[in-house]
Amino acid sequence: MKDKVVLITGGSSGIGKALAVEFGRKGSKVVITGRDAGKLAEVEILLRNEGITYLSLVSDVSMQADNEAVIAAVMTQFGQLDVLINNAGISMRAMFEDLDPEVIRKVMDINFFGSVYATKAALPHLLKSKGSIVGISSIAGYRGLPVRVGYSASKFALNGFLEALRTELLHSGVHVLTASPGFTASNIRVASLGKDGQKMGETMRNEAKMMSAEEVAARIYKAIVQRKRELILTSQGKLTVWLNKLFPKFMDTMVYNELAKEENSPLRKR
């Protein structure tokens, strides 16, 4: 990946931030985007101190025009694009019966349509470089998770999009990777939207027991270098996907019971 140009959406925190550092340390030129200029500035300092060549752009992935502007800026600055990592994402946590449907729309706009818009804008350049398209999905894209219906829906949609696109591009030389971390220590749960669309501002799981964002980034980097088709992380994640294929009814109960253990889970009350 030395001297490759890598665009990472949602690069201001969590896995995106870790990916920027991982690729930068390997000699890549890194482009990070995000909606929060302050958080992007913090990552800029980190990249600069590491001696990493970077470009930082304030952008909202849910806006098609923003994605087009980002790609134009990348081409002006570097003249090439080799890897697109669709990492920007948001979660939600509420029972569907209590949920404002606009919350699902917002999650879909960022998690799914954000990836669609970025990929559409980047594709002509990735066809030229025979580069990589990466979608940061989730175990929730293989197994629906209660209290996270909107998040699961967005990741199932992303998985289907990437699979269809991979097939379309089969003879193009473009690599498509679906990367699915398990529960990862990041700020995504803190930023989760509640039933009314407001950020919850707290995590409901023990972050200390989760895979770190840095380890996730290292695994994704390796999978891109090896041009893998799919990456499912953590033993729990792999087991969940496997069991769900073989014993879906059993997994309904297992997943319910596991997520009912979360702090203040609404599943406990039922």
Give residues with Cβ within 8 angstroms of 13, minimum separation 6.
Answer: 34, 39, 43, 186, 187
User: Does 151 participate in catalysis according to the annotation?
Assistant: yes
Bridge partners for 179 per DSSP: 136, 231
Compute the radius of gyration of the chain from its Cα atoms: 18
- In angstroms, rounded to a whole number, what is the distance separating the alpha carbons of residues 242 and 260? 21
**Catalytic residue selected from 142, 151, 221, 256:** 151
DSSP 132: E
- In angstroms, rounded to a whole number, what is the distance separating the alpha carbons of residues 72 and 69? 5
Q: What are phi and psi of 30, to 5 degrees?
A: -110, 135
Q: What are phi and psi of 75, to 5 degrees?
A: -70, -35
| Polymer length of the chain | 270
In one-letter notation, the amino acid at residue 57 is: L
Bridge partners for 29 per DSSP: 5
Give catalytic residues, as residue numbers: 151
